[in-house]
Structure 1
Amino acid sequence: MVECEGIAGIEQFSSPGKGRGLRVSRAYEAGELLFSCPAYSYILSVNERGFICEQCFTRKKGLAKCGKCKKAFYCNVSCQKKNWPMHKLECHAMCVYGENWCPSETVRLVARIIDRLRQQKERSPSEKLLLLRDMEGHMEDMDNEKREMNEAHIAGLHHFYSKHLDFPDHQALLTLLSQVHCNGFTVEDEELSSLGLAIFPDIALLNHSCCPNVIVTYRGINAEVRAVQKISPGQEIYTSYIDLLYPTEDRIERLRDIYYFSCDCKECTTKSMDMEKMKVRKLSDEISQKEIRDMVCYARNAMEDFRRLLEMCELSIDKMSTVFDDANIYILHMMYQAMGICLFMENYEGAVRYGEKVMKPYTVLYPAYSLNIASMYLKMGRLYMALDRKSTGISALQKALAIMEVVHGKDHTYVTELKQEIRGE
């Protein structure tokens, strides 16, 4: 047992069957903060640039942009100076590559980790419990697909960062990428929209349970661990690595695929919530267990198909973009399909992102009074409203209305209902 440096009330210990873990040495009540951890390294998603400060992850209007690349935004000069050690890896490259600067988020994060490891002289505030180099990577458990992905990330590192970074050897890069794969965190806002990626070494010591007693949330670039139920002295603290909505078999499959273990928590053992999660319609004829199993199989395949469809759309857009302009009808068609898939998957931020790319070319390529344009304005307006961007949403709905008053007539039910929608009735 090792008392965790600087974190009162928490002990590191050897958790039976799980390896390293953390437990409490005093009682905690629901809602109480156990500890917080600053990010060892982090990146803001490219899609959030202009809305969120690159340094502190504060969402605000009127952010100041980097004078060199014009693509990174900050609250003020102080945030910009603090962020420069990380941003300098990308600033010059973004200027040189222009629109061709497109490393993956994983590549961007790993580049920043490599740079920090090179400069680091002592244990960081993010490593009070666990050094980054000691994080688990499960390299021996990776399948060929993940190994190939890591090789692609290494190629991306060399392509975009070789002029600014001295890389460790190939094996060390593979190890680091495996560690990031198993321990990386998606930083989310209050609506669970993704803001970026980060590494929190101390948080990586938390083991998983489908009946967690703590939750990890984010305050800017700090991760906070809070109790979600009463925890008694000596109890291990557990968080959940995955979405707990799904039934036991799905959760176990996801845990095996990403984290290489099976959960044996109370919920996975008893499956007490599976029947509630897998409710079927009450029909006159009783539904057999085989029919339920067949429908579960169909539902899983359908979800996976849509994820693959979105990946196919994105790959197709990337490939066609090497020749076609963004306003090319084939790219627009693919973006429209991607938008539809995002809507089906309830990824509204993604749907807006594709819709915005489609909207302007549509107004050029279609006649002024086109139902296609009106329907796009309607979709975008309602998406903006759903994402709490009210003024932008009303503006889009008003543009739809102007077209619909012409193509449907001012007294049409569609027009009347849209006017009521704009007024909030």
Structure 2
Amino acid sequence: MSQKSYKNKTLRGKVVSNSEEEEKTQSQKSKENSKQSLALCAAPPKLSFFDEIEESDITEYRPLKRISKDIPVNQRNKTQGTKTGTSIELKSSSNDQTLENLVIKSANKRLEIRMSDQSGRGLFALQNISPGALVMEDIPYSAVVDDANFFTTCSHCFMKGGKLSCCSACKLIHYCSKECQSNDWSNHQHECKVFVKVQRKPPTSIRLLCRILMRRMSDPASFKEIENLQSNRHLFKQEQIETFAQISMVIRDCVPKDALLSASELIELFCRFTENSFSILDGEMIPNGVAVYPNASLINHSCRPNCIIVFEKSKMMVRCIEPIVIGQEITINYTDLSQSGEERRKELQDRYFFLCRCELCEYYKKLHYDVADVEKKLSIAIELYDKGSNLRDRDDRQAITFFEQSFNIQNELLHKANYYLMRTCKSMVEIYCNLRDWKHALIHSFELIESYRILYSKLHPLLGIQLYSTARIYLSFNDNEIDIKYLEKIEESLREALKILEITHGFKHPLTKMVEMNLWDVEGEIKTKKKKAINQ
């Protein structure tokens, strides 16, 4: 499917003191309190940012060490427990235990698990659902920040920005607050020892699998949710199975014996993880983590989906973007829709073991292209793109020259929604913004909007984000360069972006609120300029 423990220990935090006398007083108080704390071993641990845990506790827990991090921007996309946030209820009739009788109640929408000849097990609507409706919520069985964002994202709430703090024992896991550290301690307390021992962070997949195993050890009943996921082990290639077997040897050194599965069961878990893991995305649809969502894993793929996935921290929100009627299947997309149909089908076949037969793929199967005459030019365009990429951040002005040459060739030969053309266009927007050449950045940002309108649904979040990005480029112009007609274009882009994001992200999402605030500012500026024009 889609890209788609813990023993509490009572820990005694202390207050930072500013003098030796205060430290002695605090030390005496902590010794008196330690007797009381032994009687409260069932209580949640008290955590502190300060390195003042008693020596007897240091082997189990190290507080956070405050550090500052600048959060990098601009990286892009792959789109798209025992107690889950989705309020899912499975029911079966007394007469028939088949999947057709299992019913999901989620976000006040009734969904049903059914088997279909085309897509196998999936979720189907039992009532009409309108665009913008929240179809399902789900919280992860286990989740980790991915390697690319390991030092810039909170490992509990998956939020970026502000100052981060690192665990003073392993110096790897980062948090945005003491509360996040406290809430994540049951997950981190074991892996912290492993990180200290090996002095490095294991890759994303190993960290997530270890957390799954640790949760299974502390809450065996919850693991049924993982066992119910599709594995398709018999469809994996032998070399993949051998790789899983090798990785399982690494995992054996990272978790206690009580948490381990047999060799065969570990490989089965790898297969389920490969098919059922999701990327956690921030508000701009940029990946920052990986997780397993057992309930959302029931949703099948379409290259023209009627739902999209957005996230509030690590909580998954499945929202409707196309009208859904009773009996219609709920679908999301597993791949990057800007890829060619051939590339999408190959990825779906290689990873998820099915041939996509959605409306879009069936249409493109009928088309045949003869690229023999243009193959050489396209190869030159790719070479120019690679040269520009190698120069980025070192010599942006030289890099943009190569990108412009590549774009001119591709724009002549390729469809506006072609992956390679869009990739070049995105790079040019970013570099022109770095060079503060807002006019050229704006031209190519409009090119991207046209591509997105062709490629995506009219309510797709990436279209809304691109409209907002274009408006922000407008707002980067000097004040005297923006007259009423340009401000009205900005207003139009922000209104459309807000309409989309209210449906895909919801009214309360931080990105939606930011767009709304920018729209208010622009509306106010338009009124001011119009008043000045009248007075003059």
Partner of 1:60: 161
Given that residues 106 and 153 in structure 1 are in contact (C-alpha distance below 8 angstroms), is that contact kept between their aligned partners in structure 2?
no
| 1:190 aligns with one of 264, 273, 283 | 283
What CA distance in whole angstroms lies between the structure 2 residues aligned with 1:205 and 1:215?
Answer: 14
| 1:131 aligns with one of 210, 225, 234 | 225
Given that residues 142 and 292 in structure 2 are in contact (C-alpha distance below 8 angstroms), is that contact kept between their aligned partners in structure 1?
yes
Matches within 5 A, 1:412-423: none
Residues 43 and 342 of structure 1: CA distance in aligned 2, closer, same or farther (over 3 Å): farther
Give SS of 1:91's match: helix
| 2:241 aligns with one of 147, 159, 184 | 147
Give SS of 1:229's match: coil
Matches within 5 A, 1:286-365: 289=370, 291=372, 344=389
Given that residues 12 and 23 in structure 1 are in contact (C-alpha distance below 8 angstroms), is that contact kept between their aligned partners in structure 2?
yes
Given that residues 27 and 230 in structure 1 are in contact (C-alpha distance below 8 angstroms), is that contact kept between their aligned partners in structure 2?
yes
User: Is 1:113 the counterpart of 2:212 in the alignment?
Assistant: yes
Cα deviation for residue 271 of structure 1 reads 1.6
Cα deviation for residue 131 of structure 1 reads 2.0
Q: Deviations over 1:285-332 (max 9, x none)?
A: xxxx26169679x87xx99x9xxxxxxxxxxxxxxxxxxxxxxxxxxx
Cα deviation for residue 194 of structure 1 reads 2.1
Cα deviation for residue 229 of structure 1 reads 0.4
Q: Which amino acid aligns with 1:171?
A: S
What CA distance in whole angstroms lies between the structure 2 residues aligned with 1:387 and 1:293?
Answer: 28
Partner of 2:194: 93
Partner of 1:270: 363
Residues 21 and 131 of structure 1: CA distance in aligned 2, closer, same or farther (over 3 Å): same
Partner of 1:51: 152
Give SS of 2:372's match: helix
Partner of 1:239: 332
Task: Give me the identity figure in percent.
Answer: 23
Q: Which amino acid aligns with 2:207?
A: R
Q: How many residues align?
A: 311
| 1:37 aligns with one of 127, 135, 138 | 138
What CA distance in whole angstroms lies between the structure 1 residues aligned with 2:163 and 2:388?
Answer: 30
Cα deviation for residue 189 of structure 1 reads 1.9
| 2:319 aligns with one of 209, 226, 229 | 226
Q: Which amino acid aligns with 1:142?
A: F
Residues 200 and 341 of structure 1: CA distance in aligned 2, closer, same or farther (over 3 Å): farther
Q: Which amino acid aligns with 1:258?
A: R
Give SS of 2:347's match: helix
Cα deviation for residue 4 of structure 1 reads 3.2
Q: Which amino acid aligns with 2:216?
A: L
User: Is 1:21 the counterpart of 2:21 in the alignment?
Assistant: no
User: Where in structure 1 are there 5+ consecutive unaligned residues?
Assistant: 125-129, 279-288, 306-339, 346-350, 356-373, 395-422
With normalisation by structure 2, the TM-score equals 0.51
With normalisation by structure 1, the TM-score equals 0.63
What CA distance in whole angstroms lies between the structure 1 residues aligned with 2:239 and 2:222?
Answer: 34
| 2:267 aligns with one of 174, 189, 201 | 174
Given that residues 24 and 235 in structure 1 are in contact (C-alpha distance below 8 angstroms), is that contact kept between their aligned partners in structure 2?
yes
What CA distance in whole angstroms lies between the structure 2 residues aligned with 1:343 and 1:146?
Answer: 35
Partner of 1:75: 176
Worse-matched range after superposition: 187-196 or 252-261: 187-196
Given that residues 147 and 203 in structure 2 are in contact (C-alpha distance below 8 angstroms), is that contact kept between their aligned partners in structure 1?
no
Give SS of 2:207's match: helix
Cα deviation for residue 47 of structure 1 reads 3.5
Given that residues 104 and 110 in structure 2 are in contact (C-alpha distance below 8 angstroms), is that contact kept between their aligned partners in structure 1?
no
Give SS of 1:9's match: strand
User: Where in structure 2 are there 5+ consecutive unaligned residues?
Assistant: 1-99, 400-426, 437-475, 479-536
Partner of 1:348: none
What CA distance in whole angstroms lies between the structure 2 residues aligned with 1:182 and 1:256?
Answer: 11
| 1:259 aligns with one of 339, 352, 376 | 352
Give SS of 1:17's match: coil
Given that residues 105 and 111 in structure 2 are in contact (C-alpha distance below 8 angstroms), is that contact kept between their aligned partners in structure 1?
no
Given that residues 50 and 73 in structure 1 are in contact (C-alpha distance below 8 angstroms), is that contact kept between their aligned partners in structure 2?
yes
Give SS of 2:280's match: strand
Cα deviation for residue 187 of structure 1 reads 1.3
Give SS of 1:43's match: strand
Give SS of 1:235's match: coil
Aligned Cα root-mean-square deviation (Å): 3.9
Q: Which amino acid aligns with 1:270?
A: Y
Cα deviation for residue 193 of structure 1 reads 2.6
Residues 344 and 91 of structure 1: CA distance in aligned 2, closer, same or farther (over 3 Å): same
Residues 50 and 105 of structure 1: CA distance in aligned 2, closer, same or farther (over 3 Å): closer
Give SS of 2:259's match: coil
